[in-house]
A and B are shown apart, each in its own frame.
Chain A
Amino acid sequence: MYNSPLFWFRMNAIRFFGTAIILLFVAGPLVTLVLDTLLWLKDDQASDIGAMLSWSRQLSLLAKSVVFSAAVALGDLLIGVIAASLFWTWNTKFNRILAIGLLSMIAVPPYMHAVAWRFAVDSLNGVTGSIGMPAFAFKGWAAAWWVQMMALAPVGAGLSLLGLFSVDTKLFEAGRIAQSDLNSFRRIVLPIAAPPLLAATGFIFLYTLVDYSVPSSFLLTTYALEVFAEFSANHSAARALLISLPFLALTLIVLILVLELLRQAAVRPVSVDAAWTCEPFWPRWFTQLQGFATALLLLQLIVPIISLGMLTESWSALAGAIRSASDEIVQTAWTAALAAIVGLPIAFFAALRICEAGRYWWLLVLLPIGIPAPLIGIGLISLWNNVATAVIYDGALILVLTYLARFLPIAALVFYAQLRRLDPMPVDAARILMPNRFRFWVQIYMPLMMRTCIAASLLMFVLALGELPASLLTIPAGTGTITIRIYNYMHYGATETVAGLCLVIPLLTIIYAIFLFGVAGSWRFFLPKIPGKKT
C-alpha cells in the first residue's frame, strides 16, 4: 500500500500540482524560448552568430550598463537603509501608509518619472533664472541615474524596512547595553538584515539592467537597448535571447550570491510587533542623514504627483482621461489584482520548494528575472497560442499569465527571504497539532507570513500595473491596459491625458492596498473560535 502509485500521488498531490503550475506559468516561456533557440541553431544559423557579435562595442556597452545599474542599486540601498532605520522605530500603522504611498509610484512608467523630474527641474530653473542664477543642466548619465534611482527608491526603502523587521529587536537590545545604538545597528542589525537587504539590491540591479527606458530618454544607450535593437532588426527571438546571454549570466551570479546569503540567514523568533520601549539614540549627523533620506523619498512621492498634477491642469481633464480609458483601467486593475492574488500561493509554494529542494529549483523559478520582457512575451505566445489553450490566449487571462511569468519570480524571492528567517518551532508545533492541512495553512502559516504576503502581493500588483513590453505582445485585440494607453497618448502628445492617467495608477494601488489590509485584518475570523465567546 505504501509503495502504490496512488498512495504516493495522494501524499504528494499538492507538490506535483504546484510544480506543474510553476513549470507552466514561470519556467514555461523561458523553456520555450530556449527550445526555439536550439532549433534555430540546429538549422545552420550558427553563422549568423558571428554577424550578431561586435565584441568590443557590446562589452563596452555591457560594462556601462552594469556600472549604471550597480550605481542605481547602491544608491537605492543607501537611501533605503538610512530611511528604513528611521521608519523602523515608527508606529506600525503609519509605516503601512508610508509604504503604500511609496510603492504606488513604482507603477508609474519610468518615462513619466523622467518627464516629471524634467518638469520639476525646468520649473526650478525658471525660478532660479529669474533671480539671475545659472540653470541646472539635467542631462546625461547623472540625470538618468537620478531618475532611475528615485523611481526605484521606494522599492529599496520598502524592502529595507521588511529586512529590518526580520531582525529580532532583542538582539539589537543586547548590543545597546554594550555599545552605542549606532554601533549596535551597524554591527548587529545590518549584518543580520544583510541577506534581505542585498536581495532587494540585487532585484533593483537586475530590474535596472534589463530596462532601457530611462537612459534612452536621456539619449543614453545601454545593453538592454542592444537587445531590443537586435530584436527589432531581425524579429528573431532566438537571436535576441543569445544577445541576452550576458543578462542571464549576471542574473545567475546575482541570484547565487543572494540565495547563498539568504541560506545563511539567522532565524528570527516570531513575535508581534511591540512598540519600542526606548527608541534608539542616534548621533546628530545620523538623524540628519535619516531626514535627508526621508526627504528624498517624500520628494519621489511629491514631485511626480505635483508635476503630473500640474500637467493635468484641471479636474475635468483628469475626469476626461479616466472616462476615455475606463475600459483599460478596469481591465488593468482586475488582471493585475488576479495575478497578485493567484500568484501568492504559487510564489509561496515556489519559495518552499527552493527551501526544501534547493539545488536546481531556483534556476527554474528565478532565472526568468533576467530575461528581457519582450522575449517573455514571445515565449508566452509560443506556449499559449494554440487550439487547446485558445480560450486562455484569446481572452484577458493571457494578461494574468503575462504578469505571473514576469513577476512571480520576484514574489518568490520575497517569500524565500522571509521563509529563511521564519522560526520553525511554531510551524513544527502546528504540524503536530493541526486538525487538517487547510487549517494549518489558514490559521498558522498564513498569519505568520501575513506581512510578507502583503508585501509580495502589493509588489506584484504595482509591477503588473506598469508592465508594457510583454503585455504589448500578448494582449488580445480589442482590449488594452492603462500603461499601453499612456504610451499611445504619449506619442501623440496628449500630455494632459497622459499625466491624468499616470495619477490613476497610484490611486489603484491605494485601493488594492486597502483591500489587502482589509483581508489581513479580517483573517482573525479564520482563527479558532472560543466556544460561546466572540474571537
Chain B
Amino acid sequence: MISLNCITKSLARKTIFDDVSLTIETGAHVAITGPSGCGKTTFLRLIAGLDTPDRGDIRIESKLTSQSGRTLVPPHQRQVGFVFQAPALWPHMNVAQNILFGLQQLPKSDAAERLNRILSETGTTHLAKRMPDTLSGGEQRRVAIARTLAPEPRILLMDEPLTNLDSVAKTELAELIKSIVNNSKMTLIYVTHDLKEVSHFCDRNYVIKNAKVIELNG
C-alpha cells in the first residue's frame, strides 16, 4: 500500500501539490492524468524517492520513506520500478548489461535465469548484445521495460511509456505491459494523457488539477 499524507510540493515557485492525501492499495492499477505541467511526473518521482515533498510524508507498506524534505529510504530500497518518458538506457552498456545492472545482488545463476526470462517475456532476446544507440525507439522502450521489470519490483511506475511510438509498436508494447501487469501482483501507477490507455491498463483514474489529486469515477 502506498499512502501520501498531506503532501505539499513546489517547483520553481509554483505549487504542484497542495496538502494532497491519497492511498493506493497493494495490487491496484491506477492512472494519473492531467494537463501538461500539472505534476504527473513529479508525483511518480515523489513515490520513487527521486524527489522529496516539502511537507507531508509518504509511506510504502506502512514504512515511512519520505518526510518533509528528507528522503528516509533511498530509491533503490523501495522496490520500485520506474519506466521513464525517455528510455534512459545507459549508452556504454549493451542491452544485457543494462538489464543485469539491477540484478547484481542476486546469485549469478538466479540473475542469469531472470535475465533470460525477462528477455524472452519482452521479446528482446535477439537484442541482448546490441548497444542502445543501435536500437529503434520501440526496441529501446522494450529494453527499458525489461530493465525495470527484471528486479521484480512491487510497485511499477510508468511515465507515458507509449509516447512517440508508431501505432504498431504502441499496440505491441501495450499488450506486453498488460500481460505483465495482469500476471503479477504489482501495484501499477500509470501516467498518461491518453484516456484509451487509462481504460486499457487501469481500474482507477486520478486527475491532478489545481494542485490537488482527485479521483474520477468511471
Which A residues are closer than 8 A to B by beta carbons?
Answer: 2, 11, 269-272, 274, 423, 425-426, 428-436, 439-440, 443-444, 447-448, 450, 524, 527-532, 535
Chain B positions within 8 Å of A436 at CB level: 76, 105
A433 touches B76 (CB 8 A): yes
Chain A positions within 8 Å of B105 at CB level: 435-436
Chain B positions within 8 Å of A270 at CB level: 90-91
Across the two chains, which residue of chain A brings its CB closest to B78?
A432
Q: Give the docked Cα–Cα distance between A92 and B35 (Å).
A: 43
CB distance from A179 to the nearest CB of B (A): 25
B91 touches A271 (CB 8 A): yes
Chain A positions within 8 Å of B49 at CB level: 431-432
Q: B104: CB under 8 A from chain A?
A: yes
Choose from A274, A423, A432, A435 the contact partner of B75 (Cβ within 8 Å): A432
B43-99 residues at the A interface, CB under 8 angstroms? 45, 48-50, 64, 67, 70, 72, 74-76, 78, 80-82, 84-86, 88-93, 96-97
| Known A428-B84, A434-B76, A434-B101: A272·B91 in contact at CB below 8 Å | yes
Q: B111: CB under 8 A from chain A?
A: yes
A-B contact pairs, 14 of them (CB 8 A): A274-B133, A423-B88, A425-B86, A429-B90, A431-B74, A432-B75, A432-B78, A434-B76, A435-B105, A439-B101, A439-B104, A528-B103, A530-B96, A530-B115
Across the two chains, which residue of chain A brings its CB closest to B147?
A433
Q: Give the docked Cα–Cα distance between A530 and B108 (Å).
A: 9
B90 touches A448 (CB 8 A): yes
B90 touches A530 (CB 8 A): no
Q: B131: CB under 8 A from chain A?
A: yes
Q: Give the docked Cα–Cα distance between A531 and B90 (Å).
A: 19
| Known A435-B76, A448-B90, A527-B92: A425·B84 in contact at CB below 8 Å | yes
Across the two chains, which residue of chain A brings its CB closest to B108?
A531
A448 touches B75 (CB 8 A): no
| Known A272-B133, A426-B90, A431-B50: A527·B97 in contact at CB below 8 Å | yes
CB distance from B111 to the nearest CB of A (A): 6
B91 touches A530 (CB 8 A): no
A531 touches B102 (CB 8 A): no
Q: B112: CB under 8 A from chain A?
A: yes
Across the two chains, which residue of chain A brings its CB closest to B88?
A425
CB distance from A169 to the nearest CB of B (A): 12
CB distance from A304 to the nearest CB of B (A): 36
Interface of B is mostly: mixed
A528 touches B97 (CB 8 A): yes
> Beyond the given A425-B85, A426-B90, A435-B102, could you list 15 further A-B residue pairs with CB under 8 A, ordered by the A residue number?
A272-B133, A428-B88, A431-B49, A431-B50, A433-B101, A433-B147, A435-B76, A436-B105, A527-B92, A527-B93, A528-B96, A528-B100, A530-B115, A531-B115, A532-B112
B97 touches A530 (CB 8 A): yes
Chain B positions within 8 Å of A2 at CB level: 64, 67, 70, 72
CB distance from A112 to the nearest CB of B (A): 40
Chain B positions within 8 Å of A440 at CB level: 76
Q: Give the docked Cα–Cα distance between A484 and B77 (Å).
A: 53
Q: B39: CB under 8 A from chain A?
A: no
CB distance from A158 to the nearest CB of B (A): 22
| Known A425-B88, A426-B88, A444-B90: A272·B131 in contact at CB below 8 Å | yes
CB distance from A148 to the nearest CB of B (A): 39
B92 touches A429 (CB 8 A): no
Q: Give the docked Cα–Cα distance between A274 and B86 (Å).
A: 19
User: What is the size category of the interface that chain B forms with chain A?
Assistant: 35 or more
Which B residues are closer than 8 A to A by beta carbons?
Answer: 45, 48-50, 64, 67, 70, 72, 74-76, 78, 80-82, 84-86, 88-93, 96-97, 100-105, 108-109, 111-112, 115, 128, 131, 133, 144, 147-148, 151
Q: Give the docked Cα–Cα distance between A433 and B89 (Å).
A: 12
Chain A positions within 8 Å of B151 at CB level: 433
Chain A positions within 8 Å of B75 at CB level: 428, 431-432
Across the two chains, which residue of chain B brings its CB closest to A450?
B92
Across the two chains, which residue of chain B brings its CB closest to A447?
B92
A432 touches B82 (CB 8 A): yes
A435 touches B133 (CB 8 A): no
Chain A positions within 8 Å of B82 at CB level: 428-429, 432
Across the two chains, which residue of chain B brings its CB closest to A439?
B104
Interface-centre pick from A270, A429, A434 (highest chain B CB count, 10 A): A429
Across the two chains, which residue of chain A brings its CB closest to B157?
A432
Choose from A269, A432, A434, A435 the contact partner of B50 (Cβ within 8 Å): A432
Q: Give the docked Cα–Cα distance between A245 and B111 (Å).
A: 60
CB distance from A440 to the nearest CB of B (A): 8
A443 touches B101 (CB 8 A): yes
| Known A431-B50, A431-B76: A426·B89 in contact at CB below 8 Å | yes
Chain A positions within 8 Å of B91 at CB level: 270-272, 426
Chain A positions within 8 Å of B81 at CB level: 432
Q: Give the docked Cα–Cα distance between A426 and B97 (Å).
A: 14
Q: Give the docked Cα–Cα distance between A230 and B13 (Å).
A: 49
CB distance from B160 to the nearest CB of A (A): 13
Q: Give the docked Cα–Cα distance between A435 and B101 (Å).
A: 8
Choose from A435, A448, A532 the contact partner of B92 (Cβ within 8 Å): A448
Q: Give the docked Cα–Cα distance between A444 and B45 (Å).
A: 20
Across the two chains, which residue of chain A brings its CB closest to B92?
A447
| Known A274-B133, A434-B76, A527-B97: A429·B88 in contact at CB below 8 Å | yes
CB distance from A170 to the nearest CB of B (A): 12
Across the two chains, which residue of chain A brings its CB closest to B105?
A435
Chain A positions within 8 Å of B115 at CB level: 530-531
Chain B positions within 8 Å of A428 at CB level: 45, 48, 50, 75, 82, 84, 88
Across the two chains, which residue of chain B brings its CB closest to A269?
B86
CB distance from A4 to the nearest CB of B (A): 12
Q: Give the docked Cα–Cα distance between A429 and B85 (Å).
A: 11
Choose from A423, A434, A535 the contact partner of B97 (Cβ within 8 Å): A535
| Known A435-B104, A439-B104: A531·B76 in contact at CB below 8 Å | no
Across the two chains, which residue of chain B brings its CB closest to A2?
B72
Q: Give the docked Cα–Cα distance between A527 and B131 (Å).
A: 14
Interface-centre pick from B64, B82, B128, B144 (highest chain A CB count, 10 A): B82
CB distance from A230 to the nearest CB of B (A): 47
Chain B positions within 8 Å of A531 at CB level: 108-109, 111-112, 115
Chain A positions within 8 Å of B50 at CB level: 428, 431-432
Interface-centre pick from B48, B67, B96 (highest chain A CB count, 10 A): B96
